[in-house]
Structure 1
Amino acid sequence: MDHAVKQPENVNLPLLTYVGFTFLGYFIIGLSLSVLPIFISKSLGFSLVIAGLVISLQYVATFFLRAYSGKIIDGKGSKPAVLSSMLGFSLTGIFLILAYYFKFSPLISLGFLIITRLLTGCGEGMIGASPINWAIMALGEKHTAKIISYNGVACYGALAIGASLGVVIEHQFGLYGIGILSILVGIVGFLFAKTKTNYTNSHTQDSQSFWKVLGKVSPFGICLALGGIGFASISTFITLYYNYFHWNNGALCLTVFGGLFVAGRLVFSNVINNYGGIRVAIACLLVETIGLLIISFANNSEMALFGAGVTGLGFSLIFPALGVVAIKSVSPSSQGSALAGYGLFIDLSLGIAGPLIGGVADIWGMKYIFPFSALMVLTGLGVAYLLKRKSNF
């Protein structure tokens, strides 16, 4: 079936049924996110370097699955990709249980965890752009900005809820409990996806290779990656930054950042349609830069908290704003590949931000990490401005 279907006037409720798959997938990802490093280092006795490498395998698998998922979405529709992701997430639960039962043999347990991380990455790679494309085909391209915005809220909200709940479950039941819940949630997502209508693109004759599509969306992806440095600096280093200055309640910064991020997505998603993606991205990158500079020059925890909120508000619409323009830069038959390729850049950004910003802290000191992050985001602002000058956006 092609995407020429009757589209509902009120899309909010139908939209939730699609981004719900994103929520389920990232909820499963979040469940083990906070507990696996501790399990690998404390229970199995491996170094933090090994723990970090095992965790990072997820992002490697995600990176390589993006291209494949884009091809599946463009050729067969989003439903097969979502079904595959939910099966993959359920399998992660099985291998988590095996890792738990073989913890008496650290190497075997670690081997099962490696499989778990690879399957998690495959599941994330398949779910990344699938619900967005599914919703666009079902609800119409005019709702693209809102769809991407709501999908992001589902993603980050699910990670936060899953990570918090995972700590509680692991404390009570160990990895066994997380494994069981992962299996059940994956099955629920699979069965729900089976009930929904699949939509395939009827204009496949002009489809392009993933790598050609990647080249077209890369300018927007570069802006996204630079903007993601600010997000990564707060999510990874704000508590250490507070500790460096002997301030209290560093974790509150994450709450304020996340709260204003979600608020920005929900309240201002329509401005993208009204003012255009590039203009909104420029404004957001400017606000994010200001927020990071406020943190850089803050002489107390309250000012840093305010800066974190401003940064969260600025970052909130960068992904959907640039994503709308990235999708329009390719033919309709390649939109799945466009979103998959565009999403690669946030994976890349979050993957390199930790070592990069950590290196800045090691070489120049902790107080320089947010000025550096502000400079990176400001560079993204410059790239976005050049795109606006050179293109008719």
Structure 2
Amino acid sequence: MEAGSGIKSATSSIALEIAGFVKFTFIGYVSIGLSLGVLPVFIHNQLGYSAMIAGIVISLQYLSTFLFRGYAGNIIDKKGPKTAVLSGLAGFAISGLFLCIAFLFKEHHELCLILVALTRLITGFAEGLIGSSPINWAINTVGEQNTARSISYNGIASYGGLAVGAPIGILLADNYGIAGIGIVVFILGIVGYLLATRKNDAVIKSTEKRKSFASVLKTIAPYGICLTLAALGFGTISTFITLYYAYLNWTNAVLCLSVFSVFFILGRLIFAGAIDNYGGLKTAVACMALESVGLAVLWLANMPQVALVGAGITGLGFSLVFPALGVEAVKLVPGSNKGAALGAYGLFLDISLGLTGPLIGGVASHFGMLYIFPFSMGMVLLGLVSCLFIGQKIKSFKAQSNNAGI
């Protein structure tokens, strides 16, 4: 009993320690979530631009995040994750100020759109710097044996932040406009920055030779491509659900984001041991299959209540895809490149979310809004097939190695 209690105590202590780092991820993604359900409608309805333009502007954030992932990985490996986290939180504060400025020019549509686009770019910079930094900070502190847990908790913080931020953003926009969102984002960035300055950094000095970022990116690319395809389901919901609901004359679209996020978090909490028990690839395949079912329900939903069920199933399915594939990807690189590996892996999520705007927006514009979910479902199924292919290649390689050993 005493041994069991000691293990539980140690596990709880590690969990709390990881939570102390991923709270910065939570702050960042609350800031992102605040405008997620507001800006597409603001650009489309108030500024009068098309769904495709709205999607492209929203996707600028993911393009910017993509460009700064490698930079963040190098900072983490050379200077430590604390520097990257501080830079990201400062970026969120600045993006909040620019959103307030954009609101002041809401009657000048072109100028306002440019300012909103600039806000998205700054937000992308902030996300790029803070995206994987708390994970590395946690791993460097609690050890590599807790990599899967650190990645999972970070995901809970990110999607939990979106779940909290999205409905609050709607309330702020309804009462104070996007300036209200900008003020809250600025305050969150400053508070997060001050909290981060009080924590000790954790830099791992490895004797292994560092690979170039391009080499690391090439190494983990097969897993990253699977992630790109799987994340299109989430990207479609997060970017276009408000427009989808408006097209069908449904209300409370933000509930879809919240339900998705809640079930995403539940999936990571309830099935936290699946990756260690069954392996990353098997877990990812099962999750993508479930995510596809959720997207099919969203596609066939004839009432908003059914759409919420689809969003929940999609969130549950997508919940373990990132950590499952991430654990397998990080194994492939030396310890001196762990920060770069997580940054490179995160790039593929940025690629997916960056493609979502123009790609799904193009599907909506050319074929109709009703086709966005069957299309994204097809992409997720393609990701599932890609995972099966990688698994088969690994089995073949191991069989050849065993034969060579004999």
TM-score (norm: length of structure 2): 0.84
Structure 2 counterpart of 1:11, one-letter code: I
The residue number in structure 2 matching 1:120 is: 123
The answer (yes or no) to whether the contact 1:70–1:337 under 8 Å persists in 2 is yes
- Distance in 1, matches of 2:176 and 2:102, equals 14
In the other structure, the counterpart of 1:266 is 269
1:226 to 229, 236, 261: 229
Q: Could you tell me which amino acid in structure 1 is paired with residue 159 of structure 2?
A: Y
1:291 matched to 2:288: no
CA distance in 2, matches of 1:99, 1:369: 30
Q: 1: distance between equivalents of 2:115 and 2:372?
A: 36
Q: Give per-residue Cα distances to partners, 1:80-104, cap 9 Å, x unaligned.
A: 0001111111112222333334556
Q: CA deviation at 1:153?
A: 1.6
Output the CA distance in 2 between the equivalents of 1:367 and 1:302: 17
**Equivalent residue runs for 1:20-99 within 5 Å:** 20-40=23-43, 45=47, 47-48=49-50, 51-99=54-102
Structure 1: runs of 5 or more not aligned:
1-6
Distance 1:76 1:84 in 2: 12
Q: Secondary structure at the match of 1:196?
A: coil
* TM-score with structure 1 setting the length: 0.86
Identity rate, percent: 51
Please name the residue that 2:212 is paired with: 209
Residue of structure 1 aligned with 2:191, choices 188, 198, 212: 188
1:55-111 residue CA offsets vs partner (Å, 9 max, x unmatched)? 332222111101100110111110000011111111122223333345565555555
Shift of residue 303 of structure 1?
5.7
User: Residue in 2 aligned with 1:4?
Assistant: none
The letter for the 2-side match of 1:93 is G
1:247 CA displacement:
7.8
Shift of the 217–307 alpha-carbon distance from structure 1 to 2, 3 Å rule, reads same
Q: Shift of residue 248 of structure 1?
A: 8.1
CA contact (8 A) 1:224 1:346 kept: yes
Partner secondary structure for residue 310 of structure 1: helix
Pairing 1:165–2:168 present: yes
Q: Kindly tell me: are residues 11 and 379 of structure 1, through their superposed partners in 2, closer, same or farther at Cα, counting changes over 3 Å? A: same
Seen in structure 2, the aligned counterparts of structure 1 residues 262 and 36 have a Cα distance that, compared at 3 Å, is: same
Residue by residue over 1:225-270, the C-alpha shift from the partner in whole angstroms, topping out at 9 and shown as x without a partner, is: 1111222344455566677778887665544433322210111112
In the superposition, relative to structure 1, how do residues 126 and 204 fare at CA in structure 2: closer, same or farther (>3 Å)? farther
Match for residue 278 of structure 2? 275
2:260 to 237, 251, 257: 257
Judge conservation of contact 1:69–1:126 (CA < 8 Å) in 2: yes
Q: Tell me what 2:3 maps to.
A: none
Distance 2:251 2:173 in 1: 27
Count of matched residue pairs = 386
Which residue matches 2:138?
A: 135
Q: Structure 2: where are the runs of 5+ without partners?
A: 1-8, 399-406
- Whether the 8 Å CA contact 2:55–2:357 is kept in 1: the answer is no
Whole-angstrom CA distance in 2 between matches of 1:107 and 1:245? 28
Q: 1:127 to 1:253 in 2, by over 3 A?
A: closer
RMSD (Å), alpha carbons: 3.0
Report how far residue 116 of structure 1 moved.
2.4
Corresponding position of 2:5: none
Structure 1 residue 23, shift from structure 2 partner: 0.8
**Whole-angstrom CA distance in 1 between matches of 2:302 and 2:115:** 47
Cα drift, residue 365 of structure 1: 5.2
Higher alpha-carbon deviation: 150-159 or 210-219: 150-159
